[in-house]
A and B are shown apart, each in its own frame.
Chain A
Amino acid sequence: MTCRFVALGLHQTDMAWSIHTFANPTRFMRFSAIVLPYVWALAGAGIGIGLYLSFFVAPPDYQQGDSVRIMFVHVPAAWLSQFGYGIMVASSIMALIFRHPLADVAAKSAAPIGAVFTFLALVAGGLWGKPMWGTYWVWDARTTSTLVLLFIYLGYMALWVTIEDPNRAARVAAVLALVGAVNLPIIRFSVDWWNTLHQPASVFRLDGPTIHSSLLWPLFVVAIGFTFFFLGVMMVRMRAEILRRRVRTLQMQQAAG
C-alpha cells in the first residue's frame, strides 16, 4: 500500500495526508483512476447483494406486505439526498476558506447526484404511498422538506449553469450552499411545525429501532452500495470537470495567441 501511495506522490510523513495532498488536480486524476474500479466494485456488490436481500431474503412486512420492499430503495435514497448536501457544504467551506482548487469541482459534481437521489426518494416514496396511504403525494412534513431540498439543489445547479466563468460561479455557488445549510434546519423545523398543526404525527413512521433487524440489514447494505455509487459517479464527474476546465484553459491560450 505505502509504496503505491508514494508512487502517487502522497508521501506526507507524520500526518497521514493533509487536505492539500489532493489539492493538486493531477494527483487527483491519478488517484481516482486507481480507486475508481474498487469503488464501482463495492457499489455493484452493495446494490446487488442489498437488492437480492431486500427482494428475496427479507420477509414481507405483516402489515405492509411486499410494498415494504420499496423502502429498501426509498430510505437509502433519502439518506443520500442529505449526504449529498453535506458533501456540497463541506466542499463549499473548503472552496471559500482555503480556496482549495478541487473543492468547488467536488461541490459542483455532488449537486446533480444529490438531486437525483432526492428525486428518487420522492418518487419511491410516492409509489410506496399509493398502496399505503391511498395517494401518491401527501403534504407530510418529511415529504415537504425533501421537496424543498430538491428545490435548493435545483437552484444551486441553476446558478452554476447561468454563470459562465467557472471561478466566479464556484464562489457564488459556495455562498448559496452555505446559506442553504443555515436555512435548511429552519425550513425543516418550520415544515415539521406546520404539519403537526394540521395532522397528528404520522402512523407510518420509520424510526430506526422500530424496524425488525431482518428488514434493517438489507437497508444498510443497499445504503452502502448507494453511497459507493454516489462516490463513483462523483469521481467520474469530477474527472470530467477537471478535463473540461483544462480544455477551456487550452482554448483560452489558443485564442490568446
Chain B
Amino acid sequence: MSAFWALVQRDVRLATRVGGGGGMAVFFFLIVLSIVPFGIGPDLNLLTRIAPGMLWVALLLSALLTLDRLFQADQEDGTLDLLVMAPQPLELTVLAKAISHWLTTGLPLVVAAPLLGLMLNLPLDGMLPLMGAMLVGSPALSLLGAVGAALAVGVRRGGLLISLLVLPFYVPVLIFGVSASRAALVAVPGDLGGQSLLLLGAVSLASLVVGPVGGAAALRVAVK
C-alpha cells in the first residue's frame, strides 16, 4: 500500500509544483463560467435557473482539460513502463492516478464552485447541495476519465480524442449531479434531491470498478 500512496503523493506534488496542473483547471473553470453571461445575457433570473447546469458542464470540461497529461507525461519519460512492470497491480496504479487527478482537479473545483455560483446568482441555499453533489460525483469524472486517458496514451492529439471518448460516459454523472444540485432550488415533489444524490453515488461507485479495471486493461495494451 505504501507504493500506492507514494504514487498519489508524487502525482499531487507534480501537479502542484509543475505548471499546467490543478491551478490551470480552476482558472479554466472560472473563465468558462464568466463567458456564460456574455453568451446568454446578464438576466439574473435566467442565470439562477441555469446555474447548477452550467457549473456542472464547466466542471466536466475542466476535468477533461487535465486528463490528457494523466498518463501521457509518464509515457513520454518512461515512467509508465516502470509502473506497468511494478509488482503493484496495475488496477491500483490507475486508481492512484485517478485519486491524484481528483485531488488536484476535482477537489479544487468543488471548493471554487460556490464562489463561481455567486457570479451566476446561485442562491445561498443552493450552495451546500451543489458542493455535496459535486463532492460525490466528481470522483466519477476522474475515474472514468482515467479509462479515456489510458486508451489515448501515445496517440497524437490524444487530448481531443479523450474528450470524444469520455464525454458520452459523463452523461449519467451530469444528469444526476445537476438534479441533486437543483433539489434545493426547485420544489420537486418527493425527495428527488436525496434520490438523485444516491444515484450519483451509485454512478461513482460503479466508476470505482470500471475506471481502474478498464484503465489497466488499456494501459497493458499501450505499453506492451
Binding site for B on A (CB under 8 A): 96, 148, 151-152, 154-155, 158-159, 162-163, 168, 171-172, 175-176, 178-180, 182-183, 186-187, 189-191, 193-194, 197
Max chain B CB contacts within 10 Å: which of A96, A163, A189? A163
Chain B residues, CB < 8 A from A194: 175, 179
**A159 in contact with B165 (CB, 8 Å):** yes
Among B59-67, B87-95, B150-158, the stretch in contact with A: B150-158
Per-residue A-contact encoding for B156-170, CB less than 8 Å = 1, 0 else: 110001001101110
Chain B residues, CB < 8 A from A151: 164, 167-168
20 further A-B pairs in the complex, CB-CB below 8 A; given A190-B172, A197-B192 = A152-B168, A155-B168, A162-B155, A172-B151, A175-B151, A175-B221, A179-B147, A179-B210, A179-B214, A180-B168, A182-B214, A183-B144, A183-B172, A186-B172, A187-B169, A189-B172, A191-B171, A194-B175, A194-B179, A197-B188
Chain A residues, CB < 8 A from B157: 162
Partner of B221, one of A158, A168, A193, A197: A168
CA A158 – CA B158 in complex, angstroms? 11
**A186 in contact with B151 (CB, 8 Å):** no
Max chain B CB contacts within 10 Å: which of A151, A171, A179, A182? A179
Chain A residues, CB < 8 A from B165: 155, 158-159, 176
Closest residue on chain B to residue A150 by CB atoms = B168
**A158 in contact with B171 (CB, 8 Å):** no
Can you pick out 8 interface pairs between chain A and chain B where the beta carbons lie within 8 Å of each other? A159-B151, A159-B152, A159-B165, A180-B169, A183-B169, A190-B199, A193-B175, A194-B179
**Contacts A155-B168, A172-B221, A183-B169 given; does A190 touch B175 at CB 8 Å:** yes
B160 to chain A, nearest CB (A): 9
Partner of A190, one of B151, B171, B188, B192: B171
CA A155 – CA B148 in complex, angstroms? 10
CA A160 – CA B90 in complex, angstroms? 24
- Consensus secondary structure, chain A interface: helix
Interface: B54 (CB within 8 A): no
Closest residue on chain A to residue B192 by CB atoms = A197
**Contacts A159-B161, A172-B222, A176-B151 given; does A191 touch B156 at CB 8 Å:** no
Interface: B102 (CB within 8 A): no
Chain B residues, CB < 8 A from A176: 151, 165, 218
Interface: B86 (CB within 8 A): no
**B164 in contact with A158 (CB, 8 Å):** yes
**B214 in contact with A197 (CB, 8 Å):** no
Per-residue A-contact encoding for B70-92, CB less than 8 Å = 1, 0 else: 00000000000000000000000
Interface: B184 (CB within 8 A): no
Interface: B29 (CB within 8 A): no
Chain A residues, CB < 8 A from B156: 162
Interface: B206 (CB within 8 A): yes
**A183 in contact with B210 (CB, 8 Å):** yes
- Cβ-closest 10 pairs across A and B: A190-B172, A171-B221, A194-B175, A151-B168, A179-B214, A155-B165, A190-B175, A155-B164, A175-B218, A175-B217
CA A168 – CA B176 in complex, angstroms? 35
B63 to chain A, nearest CB (A): 17
CA A80 – CA B165 in complex, angstroms? 22
B20 to chain A, nearest CB (A): 23
CA A162 – CA B165 in complex, angstroms? 12
Max chain A CB contacts within 10 Å: which of B192, B199, B221? B221
